[in-house]
Structure 1
Amino acid sequence: MVSLPEELETREAAARRRVEELQTEAAELAVRLEEARADLSRLEITRETVAQVLAELSAAEAAPEVPAKDAPEAEGASVPHGVGVMAVPPWREGLVAQVLPDVYRDIVEIVADAPGPLQAKQIVPRIGLEATTAKIEGTRGKLKRLVERGWLDEDAPGRFTLARHGGDTDRVNSR
Structure 2
Amino acid sequence: MPSVLGVLEKRERVALARAEKLRAELERVQAAVAEAEEAARRAVIAREETVLALAEAAEEVAVVPGASAGGSEAAAAAGAAGPRVEVPLWHEGLGDEVLPPDCARIVALVDNDAAGGGEGVRARRMREHLGWSATDAKEQAARFRAKRLVERGWLTEERPGLFRPRTA
Q: Please, what TM-score do these two structures have when normalized by structure 1?
A: 0.46
